[in-house]
Structure 1
Amino acid sequence: MTDFGPHDLLLDLTNANLVRGLVWSTLSINEDWVIPTLQHIAIKCLAGSLGRTLRRTPVTGEKVPNACFQVLSLIGTKEAGASLLTISYTTANKTILKRIRSGLESMSAAQGMAIDDLIEKSVPDLGLDEKGIARVITDTGVAELSLDDKHTVKMKWQPGAGIGEQPPELKVLVEDFSKAAASERNRLESLLVSLRKWSIYDFHQRCVMGPLTSWFSIRLLWEVNALNGDSFIGLPSRDGAGIFVTPNGIREVQDGFVRIWHPVESDISEVRELRQMMTSLNVRQPIRQVWREVFLPDKVEIDTELYSNRFAGHIINFRQFYALARMRKWSGGFLSGSWDGGQVSTTIKVFPEFGVQAEWSLAMLDVDDKNLIQDLCTTSRVVFMPIDDHSRSPLPISGIPKVVFSETFRDLSLFVTICNVATDPIWLERFANVSQLSQYWETISHGRLDEVVTQRSELISFLITRGEFDDRIKLSGRHVMASGSFGTYFIDLLTANVRMDPPGKWISLNTTGLKKKQDLWEGNWLATPIDDDEILNQILFRSHLLANDHQITDRSILRQIRDN
């Protein structure tokens, strides 16, 4: 706040050194606002360094956030550790992540514990009960805050005597709840590509009984390895340490180790058995686990040995990809024609516990058509390299850990299907004279990415069998067929494109302004979260929408249907 009112540009390049000094000065201040303020500054500065223009924080570089990391590690409290962890989920920058890791290691060494133990003990409890609800009593009423699986917090307000207005600090509290829940969900999902394991007792105390962690962990499947050699996969129970629910009933283990389960480690019959169990128990998983896509090396990749072309030769929207890649912890890969060599690049994802990094090559699409203003790029091969290996010798694909290979290719599948130019056939028709695009459209519509289509088909088939859809929605080859009142619609399982029959023309569906997709499925999808696959979301939503086309009120959609 200034004499002239609120000012959003108090933090800029001219006073970054002053801000660093102020950050360091907070070491002598013992106030509740210090840690959240340092977290807020670090996140804002990191966002401003991603190549995007943020008016509120035009500071680029890493000096200010680095000062925040160092001060938080020196504060050394549970809350400071949680803050560092939250910051780490907002960036894919390898250097920044190393410095945050270094800060956590300093804290763990000072407290005489392993870094994983420090991280788990830094998870806030938020005052939650076992149902994921916290009661906050204020002078004007009582607020009930409850978690959900969409990174949001629901609040139920019960006003007290008098006016009973909600105090302004409740809004801040809700934001803190949302950030803490999102960070913990991300942390648990990151364990899918981890070697972390717990003793039976530690797992029960930290993962099953921890108020925030248990909200997620008791709905996830865990691999249990008993010291007597017995092993199984099950859901943990709060009834006691070592008690798990399995497809074959209740199992109890006294001594052993627990680690999160990844479906790539099981055969398909066991995975289907676990899916059936989760469905019968009405368990909605907070992350996509039992229905997670699995990718294994094929014969061609094993024969070529050092690289894979499975996701090569695709044309994708670079800006959309770049944003999505940052969300999935891929770094590098920036393309630009502004300098020599900027037309090609490599995007990298690091798996530090396995000593491996995946590298995917990209190149700008060379198109002469000046009307083609979209930034398009083409994809090339992926290789796996040892971390920090200056010899640049690719690792044999046959030797890559299964979970690393599967998660790498799962990301590439998401990038290619979500950012693909083929997801909008109406747009492609405008550039039919561009040979690269017309040839690619012809290729993608005739069998490319069959693995992705098969996995989506299996999930939708399961949901249809379960009765999630009425009889107007069916599978038909590479399409979901929705029979509406005005015609039959075929939704492509790869791109979510919609073709109406008759007369066989494509329909452009912009569903952004329509009713929120999740509202249509309230109470459903108990075992099948799909929040990270936007194309699958679109397929399911469009199937339901077009099967009930007589209820559509959007004029642009109705006009296309009636014209057809």
Structure 2
Amino acid sequence: MNVTTLLDDEDAYGPAMRAAHAELLTSPGVHEFLAHCTGQDKVRATKRWRKQAAALLADSVRGPEAVRVLLEGMARQAEHTVRSPQWGGGEWPGIASEHNTVLVRGLLWAAADIDADWAVPAVADVALNAGTGWGGSGGVCRNGKMATAAVAVLGEFGGPQGEQAVERLDRLRRTIRNRTVVKGIAASLQAVAERGGLTPSILRERAVPAVGLDARGMREEQLGDHTALLSVAAPGTVTLAFRGPQGRVLKSAPKPVREAYGDRLAEIRGAVKQLRVLLTAERARLEEHLMAGTCRPVRDWESYYIDHPVTGALASTLIWEVSPDGGARWTAGLPERAAGGWALAGADGTAVPVTEGALLRLWHPVRADTEEVRAWRTELADRELRQPFKQAFREVYPLTPAEETTRNYSNRFAGHILRYGQARALMVERGWAGNHLGYHSDGYAAEMVRELPRAGELTVTEGEFWRARFHVELVEARDDGGIATLCSTDQVRFERRRGARGPWERTDLADVPVLTLSEAMRDVDLFVGVASIGADPQWQDRGEDRAFGDYWRGWAFGDLTETARMRRESLAALLPRTRIADRVELTDRFLRVRGELRTYKIHLGSGNILMEPDDAYLCIVVDRGAVAAAGDTDRLFLPFEEDGGLLSVILSKAFLLADDARITDRTIASQLRRAA
């Protein structure tokens, strides 16, 4: 068996590796080792196979190098058309032929027994590239066989490599959407956790690297006469600056640094990228703990959350609850330094020390009364404290009388028309999975399913598992390919199981924990609020293609959702601080703006606009990406939706319409003239 046979021509990977590493692939012992790898056609390698692979590597001086370069090559391999002799010469999009897939599986399992810094990153990068969907998204892997093997290998690493593998598995868990691979990731996390006697959640928190940051969240690197200053600040912003010999701070690397310290500068910039990825993962992990009600003892809270140089930048801006008596009584506050430790500062100005033996958890508004929630929202607004995700301003969804009547399903968000592509992207981002809609078999209806986060201190043998099911149906699809463009919404149901392997059972809504119910409904409200055709200001101007006009108008100007009511509450506090305070007023559903030419009503749920006195529709399409830099809105502290979200869009429209006599945009001005 020659090198061409080992790395065949049925894909782009084989020829590329032969051309790039010809000398290495023909070095003593490498050929025999690679031939052994072509026999690994299962997800998991046997002990006998691994023992023989290790022996062949030991007999080959450059064998580990071959493993590294071939795995790194696969991690970089772009998606392309792959031929399949096994399927009669057919072609399909992918990253490796059937034969080379088997070879890489062998390389992955060989890497599991190599004690080198590159081993875990190389395996994880292959898992990411292979597990990513076609075209960069979706749940159909570029190479499912390779991805499942790679995540299984990550579960085999131990010691320091095991900690590194846990961090990489956690990243993969938030990126890959294929359900089979995701199950493999969960199994690998569980395997590593069980070997260490920990839960997967605790294991992940202990594997978060500091990336060279000190206790202040800073890292200083001397580069000649300049010092690189890498820092992470609340609520999770990464900055890189350069201090000169006279103390002047520059935002970019000066020329002497670029010329003399290129390699070190590249490493520092790599750390910036790593920190940004890490902060995204930590933000999501903390939000999962909020959703699950995870409790942590003081020492773990200090070590892995509030004092951690990366996670602490996020945790320090969140409201925590402390219980000195094992969970009988809880007191909420923002973390602040105290003599010899930490305290939680309440919204009323009091502070409670965080003492040895106490438990801590993230505060959630669903467990608080109205007065406490209002106090925290006022406190954060007064401090202009931005949180890494919605906490104080988080929407809550208690059980409704209608849901008590329907018992085991909710119609709260049924009957909406959503732009399917946008809705599905949001669902996948929030962890919901299900079949695609379209003109194909089983494509006329689907259930999107999400398993809700569990408390991080629970093992898989403790407590209950909960999942939500959201039913959607096909409404409209493109003629070319039958890809869904519109879907309708229907019921939300909940299921419970006891233990990791018990059966899922449909459950009455009244039996669903309030935190679980609220968080699942919050997701569904997000899908409707963002993807509804009622949120599209141009929907009514689609010519002959327009449809669902009654639904559009009913949603675009109808009753407010929980998210929109939150928006109204924030505007009530913000508007008195603006220069247009005397020109605006809040009604039950609208922000009413008095201009020079007309009076306008901006709907607080959709952002759509009606003009008095005849409620003529005014279409203003705002570039959300540019909103944060527009006019007075960027000088206002917005507690949420600050980066082009609907709250900032509504404010931007209000400032524009309050000065309507000076509008020069032809599209808007022509509508005002027609309405006059």
- TM-score bracket, normalised by the shorter chain, equals 0.7 to 0.9
How far did 1:61 drift? 4.2
Give 2:640's aligned residue. 529
- Write the mapping of 1:100-499 to structure 2, written as runs, cut at 5 A: 100-129=185-214, 131-138=216-223, 141-147=226-232, 153-158=238-243, 163-165=256-258, 167-227=265-325, 229-239=328-338, 240-241=340-341, 243-248=343-348, 249-254=350-355, 255-339=357-441, 341-351=442-452, 353=454, 354-365=464-475, 375-387=485-497, 394-430=506-542, 437-445=548-556, 447-465=558-576, 470-483=581-594, 487-499=598-610
How far did 1:314 drift? 0.3
Instruction: Work out the CA distance in 2 between the residues paired with 1:111 and 1:68.
Output: 21
Identity fraction in percent? 28
Q: In the superposition, relative to structure 1, how do residues 521 and 19 fare at CA in structure 2: closer, same or farther (>3 Å)?
A: farther
Instruction: Work out the CA distance in 2 between the residues paired with 1:461 and 1:109.
Output: 51
Q: Deviations over 1:458-479 (max 9, x none)?
A: 1221222455975444424322
Give 2:59's aligned residue. none
Q: In the superposition, relative to structure 1, how do residues 334 and 190 fare at CA in structure 2: closer, same or farther (>3 Å)?
A: same
Give 1:69's aligned residue. 151
Instruction: Work out the CA distance in 2 between the residues paired with 1:176 and 1:257.
Output: 31
SS in 2 for 1:477: coil
How far did 1:95 drift? 3.6
Which moves more between the two structures, 133-142 or 450-459?
133-142
How far did 1:198 drift? 1.4
Preserved contact between residue 91 and residue 97 of structure 1 (Cα < 8 Å): yes
How far did 1:401 drift? 0.5
Preserved contact between residue 101 and residue 146 of structure 2 (Cα < 8 Å): yes
Preserved contact between residue 509 and residue 557 of structure 1 (Cα < 8 Å): no
How far did 1:230 drift? 4.2
* RMSD (Å) for aligned C-alpha atoms: 3.7
Q: Deviations over 1:316-375 (max 9, x none)?
A: 011111111011111114212122x310110011125341111111111159999x9971
Q: In the superposition, relative to structure 1, how do residues 373 and 64 fare at CA in structure 2: closer, same or farther (>3 Å)?
A: closer
Letter in 2 for 1:163: P
Which moves more between the two structures, 252-261 or 444-453?
444-453
Instruction: Work out the CA distance in 1 between the residues paired with 2:610 and 2:655.
Output: 15
How far did 1:90 drift? 1.3
SS in 1 for 2:142: coil
1:18 matches 2:103: yes
Preserved contact between residue 465 and residue 496 of structure 2 (Cα < 8 Å): yes
Instruction: Work out the CA distance in 2 between the residues paired with 1:185 and 1:490.
Output: 36
Instruction: Work out the CA distance in 2 between the residues paired with 1:162 and 1:367.
Output: 55
SS in 2 for 1:375: strand
How far did 1:175 drift? 1.3
Q: In the superposition, relative to structure 1, how do residues 257 and 267 fare at CA in structure 2: closer, same or farther (>3 Å)?
A: same
- Write the mapping of 1:53-64 to structure 2, written as runs, cut at 5 A: 53-54=135-136, 60-64=142-146
How far did 1:518 drift? 8.8
How far did 1:525 drift? 3.2
Q: Deviations over 1:282-317 (max 9, x none)?
A: 422111100001111111111211111010000001
Instruction: Work out the CA distance in 1 between the residues paired with 2:279 and 2:449.
Output: 27
Match of 1:47 among 126, 132, 135: 132
Q: In the superposition, relative to structure 1, how do residues 288 and 357 fare at CA in structure 2: closer, same or farther (>3 Å)?
A: same
Preserved contact between residue 365 and residue 376 of structure 1 (Cα < 8 Å): yes
Which moves more between the two structures, 156-165 or 182-191?
156-165
- Write the mapping of 1:533-552 to structure 2, written as runs, cut at 5 A: 534-547=645-658
Q: In the superposition, relative to structure 1, how do residues 242 and 158 fare at CA in structure 2: closer, same or farther (>3 Å)?
A: closer
Q: TM-score, normalised by structure 1?
A: 0.86
Q: In the superposition, relative to structure 1, how do residues 541 and 33 fare at CA in structure 2: closer, same or farther (>3 Å)?
A: farther
Preserved contact between residue 208 and residue 237 of structure 1 (Cα < 8 Å): no
Letter in 2 for 1:428: Q
How far did 1:542 drift? 3.3
Q: What stretches of structure 2 of length at least 5 have no aligned partner?
A: 1-15, 21-75, 81-93, 246-253, 455-463
Q: In the superposition, relative to structure 1, how do residues 208 and 299 fare at CA in structure 2: closer, same or farther (>3 Å)?
A: same
Q: In the superposition, relative to structure 1, how do residues 484 and 179 fare at CA in structure 2: closer, same or farther (>3 Å)?
A: farther
Letter in 2 for 1:246: G
Which moves more between the two structures, 307-316 or 538-547?
538-547
Preserved contact between residue 243 and residue 251 of structure 1 (Cα < 8 Å): yes
Instruction: Work out the CA distance in 2 between the residues paired with 1:151 and 1:552.
Output: 38
Q: In the superposition, relative to structure 1, how do residues 521 and 286 fare at CA in structure 2: closer, same or farther (>3 Å)?
A: farther
Q: In the superposition, relative to structure 1, how do residues 512 and 456 fare at CA in structure 2: closer, same or farther (>3 Å)?
A: closer
Letter in 1 for 2:444: Q
Q: In the superposition, relative to structure 1, how do residues 541 and 405 fare at CA in structure 2: closer, same or farther (>3 Å)?
A: farther
Instruction: Work out the CA distance in 2 between the residues paired with 1:394 and 1:190.
Output: 23
Q: Deviations over 1:517-563 (max 9, x none)?
A: 5997557536x233699434432443345446688776655665666
Letter in 2 for 1:417: G
SS in 2 for 1:84: helix
How far did 1:199 drift? 1.7
Q: In the superposition, relative to structure 1, how do residues 515 and 452 fare at CA in structure 2: closer, same or farther (>3 Å)?
A: closer
Preserved contact between residue 422 and residue 428 of structure 1 (Cα < 8 Å): no
- Write the mapping of 1:496-535 to structure 2, written as runs, cut at 5 A: 496-500=607-611, 504-511=616-623, 514=626, 516=628, 524-525=636-637, 528-530=639-641, 534-535=645-646
SS in 2 for 1:135: strand
SS in 2 for 1:156: strand
SS in 2 for 1:238: strand
Instruction: Work out the CA distance in 1 between the residues paired with 2:477 and 2:406.
Output: 31
Preserved contact between residue 126 and residue 177 of structure 1 (Cα < 8 Å): yes
Letter in 2 for 1:112: G
Question: Size of the alignment, in residue pairs?
Answer: 555
Greater relative contact order (Cα < 8 A, sep 6+): 1
Q: In the superposition, relative to structure 1, how do residues 551 and 293 fare at CA in structure 2: closer, same or farther (>3 Å)?
A: farther
Letter in 2 for 1:351: L
Q: What stretches of structure 1 of length at least 5 have no aligned partner?
A: none
Q: Deviations over 1:363-398 (max 9, x none)?
A: 11159999x997111100111112499987531111
How far did 1:274 drift? 1.9
SS in 2 for 1:147: strand
Instruction: Work out the CA distance in 1 between the residues paired with 2:666 and 2:428.
Output: 36
Preserved contact between residue 426 and residue 506 of structure 1 (Cα < 8 Å): no
Letter in 1 for 2:588: G
Letter in 2 for 1:238: R
Q: Deviations over 1:126-180 (max 9, x none)?
A: 2334554333444684332333678763322346897221633343222111101
